[in-house]
Every structure is written in C-alpha cells, then in structure tokens.
C-alpha cells in the first residue's frame, strides 16, 4: 500500500499546485451573475470526521480550508444508512418520513420478520402492499421538480439507499450500478464505460465507475440542479476490517483521489465556479465489542398469539409487541435495563412532544424523532465507550461484528461536513450544530425554491456567504435525565438547539451498584 499511497500523494500535490479553476477554487467566490448555482452533495459512507486529516485525505482537507467545515454535524438517529438517506432526501426525521431503520417491519408484506431496506425490491414490495408512498414526506426531488429543477442520484451504495434518495425520480434520475431511472441511463453508462466492476474492499473500482458515469454520462444527459453522489467506502471496508485498519486508510486515499477528480471534472465542464460542493457522511463509525443475546432477553415474553404467529417481532434494535400489551412492553424494558450492553431505551411518551417515555427510565420516541405510526413500541441503542480501539481511534459499541454504527454514541452520531462553493463562506470553521436533515432546506433556499412544510431541517445560514458569522449564532444545550423504578438504570440524553431546531448529540447510561 505504501507505494500506491506515495504515488497518490505525488499526483495530488501536483494537482493542488496547478492553476486554480476560477474564484471558487481559491476562495469560494460567487457564481457569474444570473447563473443559477448547482449543488453536488458527495456522501462518503461512514466517513468519521477524524478521518479528514491531511495525511489521510489531503484533497478533502484542502477543500475544507478553502471553504466551510461544520465541526458539530449530526447523523439522524438511528445512525444507519437508509434512515439517513431518507432524511437527506426529505429534510425530515423518521417521525415524518416513515423509514424507520436499515430493516423495517411491515406486516402487510411479512408478518413475522423484518425486511432489509438495502434491497430496492423490498421497498417496491412495501409500496405495492401498503398502497401509500414509501416515504411519507415531500422529497427534495419533488420540490425541485415543482420549480423546473432536477435531482440526480449517483450511487455505489445499496440499491435501497439509492432509491430512497429519489424514490419518485421526480424530474430527475437515479443511476445505480444495478439499475437506473430512466432505464436507458444505465445502458448509456455501460456503453461508455464498460461493465460495472466487482465489489471489493476497498471498493475503489466500483466507486470510480460511478464517478466516471457522473462526469462522462449523467452530468450532461440530466443537467442536474442538485446531485447526490454516494460512494460506498469507508463503510464497506471498515465493516469488515475495523476502524482505522490499513485497508480503511487505503480506502480513504482512494476516495480522496475521487474528490479531486470530481473537482477537475467539473472544471473541465465549465461548472466548477457555479457548483457548491458538499462532502458529508451518513453516520460515524465505532469498533464493536460484542452484542447482547436479544433472543434470551425476549424469551420470557415471546409466547405466540392465539393464531400461532409470533407475539414479538424484533430487528434493527426495534421491538414490536404485536398485541400491544403494556405489561409485556414494561417487562421487556426492565429486562433490557438490566442487561449490560444495552444503552438508551425509547418508548412512546405520555403525550406528543414528551421527553420521557411511557415506561420509567426510558426516553420518549419523540425525543428520538422516531414517533411515526410505523414505529415499534420499543427502540434501544447499544451501549458505548470512548475507549481507544486497535488502530488508535476512539469509540466502541456493544454490537456484533468487527465495526459499524447505529447507536446513539457520539462516535456514531457525529459525522462529517465540509463544503466549498459560490454560496458558501471561505476559510470558516463552524461549531454551530447541523445535521443531515439540513441539506434539503438549505439547497432549496439557495435556489429560491419554497421549502415544503414537511421539511424539519433548518437552512444553514451560518455557512452561507450572506449569513451570520457562526460565532454569533445562539446555541443551546439541554440534558434530559430519566431513571428506572428501581434506580438501577439511569439514562441521560444531551440535546443541542439552534434556531428552534434540536439535535440529539448522544446518550449515556449508568447502572449504579
């Protein structure tokens, strides 16, 4: 790897030393008068903020120095890919858009088990079965279409996440390595670029194919107002090998080269000066230390219903008690509270907007922004620590497998946002909380398009040229504390507030002896 990294750094140094591509390449200058700006949102799946260092990702680090870095950016909880894809698409939380997890329970489709949302076919099955939109909120693509704009989604991730980003393909397109909408678009890419490469760890070849498909085919064919370009690393590699593993470091270098190629490609197309480039991630990442035996926890409550079907269906850290029995819900919560490795627990509160849940020692689904009619009675998070992992990165989570995400740990919640462009401040670091729900309303605001009422995110004014200095933005912080009836489980949530919006920072759990 060292030889490849050395060649990459040399090539990148030469690229960065070359003449810049107009004012945006130097200081995020303004677009030519009268020309509508574009937005390119690059999602690097699972990119932790502490990966953005000059020795790992020099091009991205340099981009941040030219533009704006948001140091308190938040993933939506649960901190999993498809929840955050849906929140990027809708500017809303699960309580509004209705996509509850990486796996979901729709008894109309499968009465006894969860369905993975990574598979687009499952999402199509759900749409057919429920007879209503998959996402119960207006999408960015639909809002753009109403004003003559287009959303383009390019994805090397799962077919499910790509579909959630623009599930109606309203006025725009999706180009995934397995399918496209319209169907002819993928055929054009295959004709131009050849077959889609096999997946790998790192997944460089497939990520590069998607970048090429954007620059050589879709950019001209679709002429997008907003593009969401999703690359599947470092997530793909880190799940298998661990946070900070040498192969993850290689994946970061390769992703960094793609970010430079995207800038070069936009410049070659004459679009660099009028494009706002945003680089983010869907979630953070943690090293795993082993999960709980959920089956054993639920066994005392799992007697079948009268028709022989399961009383309890669990998956993706959500637990449905299908007969709604309150005693069973309370009993399961008590069992979870007594189980080492279980972190925050959420249940429905006494009323809409309540902070405490309906069971002692739980937080409300409203605080988690998860209180949708599709929600389970119980949502829980794995517990976490700030311990240093094998490769020198902090953050562990009590889950199975090598490494991953999904918890309310700050290492999973906190994710990356670096941006540069004609609408953005130059050379600014902002500690104002922001989140993945904020992209859609911010893009629409800069384009002069009305923001749908269902969008719960805020406009990131402090990152915009015409907005206030980040140091002048009022930021609040609140702690919500709850305790189990026996005092053996204490749960605290820390929440930040900006401009009437709240962001779940993290939760902590204590089990006093």
Sheet of strand 73-74: strand arrangement = 414-415, 73-74, 434-435
Sheet of strand 428-430: strand arrangement = 180-181, 173-176, 151-155, 226-231, 38-44, 275-280, 417-420, 68-70, 428-430
For the chain, what is the radius of gyration of the CA atoms? 22
Cα separation, 278 vs 63, in Å, equals: 10
Q: Which of 170, 263, 260 is nearest to 224 (CA)?
A: 170
The pair of structure tokens assigned to 222 is 């679709």
Q: Which of 8, 2, 65 is nearest to 424 (CA)?
A: 65
Q: Which residue has the higher pLDDT, 5 or 23?
A: 5
Domain boundaries, the chain: 2-29+38-92+138-286+405-466, 294-339+342-382+476-508
Q: Which of 68, 104, 33 is nearest to 375 (CA)?
A: 104
**What integer pLDDT is reported at residue 489 of this predicted model?**
98
Cα separation, 300 vs 280, in Å, equals: 43
Cα separation, 379 vs 383, in Å, equals: 13
**What integer pLDDT is reported at residue 21 of this predicted model?**
28
Q: Quick one: angle between helices 58-66 and 2-17, nearest 10?
A: 30
**What integer pLDDT is reported at residue 36 of this predicted model?**
78
Cα separation, 201 vs 223, in Å, equals: 32
With cut-offs at 50, 70 and 90, classify the pLDDT of residue 311: very high
pTM of the predicted protein model = 0.93
Cα separation, 47 vs 436, in Å, equals: 13
The pair of structure tokens assigned to 390 is 């094998």
pLDDT in tens, 176-225: 999 999 999 999 999 999 999 999 999 999 999 999 999 999 999 999 99
**What integer pLDDT is reported at residue 513 of this predicted model?**
79
Q: Which of 159, 165, 266, 248 is nearest to 204 (CA)?
A: 248
Please classify residue 29 by burial: count the beta carbons closer than 10 Å to its beta carbon, then call 0-12 exposed, 13-18 middle and 19+ buried.
middle
Residue whose tokens read 């999904």: 406
Report the b/e string of 272-290 with b at 16+ CB within 10 A: bbbbbbbbbbbbbbbbbbe
The pair of structure tokens assigned to 27 is 């200081």
With cut-offs at 50, 70 and 90, classify the pLDDT of residue 351: confident
**What integer pLDDT is reported at residue 3 of this predicted model?**
44
Whether residue 346 is predicted with pLDDT greater than 70 in this model: the reply is yes
User: Which residues is 67 bridged to in the sheet?
Assistant: none
Contact 180, 139 (CB under 8 A): no
**What integer pLDDT is reported at residue 376 of this predicted model?**
98
Whether residue 6 is predicted with pLDDT greater than 90 in this model: the reply is no
Instruction: State the DSSP H helix or E strand holding residue 344, giving kind and residue range, or none if neither.
Output: strand 342-347
pLDDT in tens, 422-470: 999 999 999 999 999 999 999 999 999 999 999 999 999 999 999 999 9
**What integer pLDDT is reported at residue 352 of this predicted model?**
84
Whether residue 62 is predicted with pLDDT greater than 50 in this model: the reply is yes
Please classify residue 44 by burial: count the beta carbons closer than 10 Å to its beta carbon, then call 0-12 exposed, 13-18 middle and 19+ buried.
buried
With cut-offs at 50, 70 and 90, classify the pLDDT of residue 47: very high
Return the minimum-mean-pLDDT range out of 5-14, 232-241, 313-322, 462-471.
5-14
**What integer pLDDT is reported at residue 133 of this predicted model?**
85
Query: Is the omega angle on the peptide bond into residue 202 within 30 degrees of 0, that is, cis?
Result: yes
Instruction: Tell me what percent of the residues of the chain surpass a pLDDT of 90.
Output: 90
For 2-29+38-92+138-286+405-466, CATH gives: 3.40.720.10
Whether residue 28 is predicted with pLDDT greater than 90 in this model: the reply is no
Cα separation, 444 vs 145, in Å, equals: 11
In angstroms, the first-to-last Cα distance of the chain is 49
**What integer pLDDT is reported at residue 23 of this predicted model?**
30
Contact 260, 12 (CB under 8 A): yes
The pair of structure tokens assigned to 168 is 């109606």
Q: Which of 375, 349, 384 is nearest to 363 (CA)?
A: 349
């Amino acid at each position: 790897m060292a030889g490849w990294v050395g060649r990459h750094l040399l090539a990148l140094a030469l690229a960065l030393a070359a003449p810049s591509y107009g004012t945006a390449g130097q200081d995020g200058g303004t677009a030519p008068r009268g020309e509508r700006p574009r937005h390119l949102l690059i999602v690097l799946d699972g990119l932790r903020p502490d990966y953005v260092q000059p020795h790992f990702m020099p091009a991205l680090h340099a981009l941040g120095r030219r533009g704006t870095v948001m140091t308190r950016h938040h993933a939506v909880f649960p901190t999993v890919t498809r929840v955050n894809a849906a929140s990027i698409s809708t500017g809303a939380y699960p309580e509004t858009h209705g996509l509850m997890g990486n796996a979901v329970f729709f008894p109309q489709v499968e009465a006894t088990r969860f369905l993975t949302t990574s598979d687009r076919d499952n999402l199509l099955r759900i749409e057919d079965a429920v007879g209503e939109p998959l996402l119960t909120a207006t999408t960015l693509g639909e809002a753009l279409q109403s004003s003559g704009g287009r959303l383009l989604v390019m994805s090397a991730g799962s077919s499910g996440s790509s579909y959630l980003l623009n599930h109606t393909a309203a006025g725009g397109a999706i180009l995934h390595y397995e399918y496209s909408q319209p169907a002819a678009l993928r055929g054009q890419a295959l004709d131009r670029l050849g077959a889609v490469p096999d997946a790998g760890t790192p997944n460089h070849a497939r990520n590069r194919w998607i970048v090429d498909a954007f620059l050589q085919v879709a950019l001209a064919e679709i002429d997008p107002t907003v593009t969401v370009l999703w690359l599947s690393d470092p997530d793909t590699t880190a799940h298998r090998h661990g946070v900070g593993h040498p192969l993850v470091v290689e994946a970061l270098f390769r992703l960094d080269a793609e970010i430079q190629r995207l800038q070069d490609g936009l410049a070659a197309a004459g679009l660099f000066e009028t494009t706002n480039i945003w680089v983010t991630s869907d979630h953070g990442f943690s090293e795993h230390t082993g999960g709980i035996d959920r089956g054993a926890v639920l066994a005392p409550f799992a007697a079948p219903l009268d028709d022989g079907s399961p009383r309890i269906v669990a998956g993706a850290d959500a637990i449905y008690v299908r007969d709604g029995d309150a005693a069973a819900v309370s009993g399961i919560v008590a069992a979870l509270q007594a189980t080492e490795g279980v972190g925050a627990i959420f249940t429905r509160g006494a009323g809409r907007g309540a902070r405490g849940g309906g069971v002692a020692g739980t937080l409300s689904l409203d605080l988690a922004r998860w209180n949708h009619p599709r929600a389970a009675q119980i949502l829980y998070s794995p517990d976490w620590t700030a311990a240093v992992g094998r490769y020198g990165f902090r953050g562990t989570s009590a889950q199975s497998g090598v490494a991953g995400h999904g918890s309310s740990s700050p290492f999973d919640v906190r994710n990356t946002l670096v941006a540069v462009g004609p609408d953005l401040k130059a050379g600014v670091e902002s500690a104002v909380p922001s989140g993945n729900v904020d992209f859609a309303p911010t893009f629409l605001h800069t384009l002069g398009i009305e923001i749908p009422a269902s969008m719960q995110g805020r406009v990131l004014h402090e990152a915009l040229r015409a907005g206030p200095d980040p140091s002048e933005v009022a930021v609040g912080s609140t702690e919500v504390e709850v305790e189990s009836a026996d005092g053996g489980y204490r749960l605290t949530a820390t929440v930040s507030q900006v401009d009437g919006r709240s962001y779940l920072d993290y939760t902590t759990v204590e089990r006093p002896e």
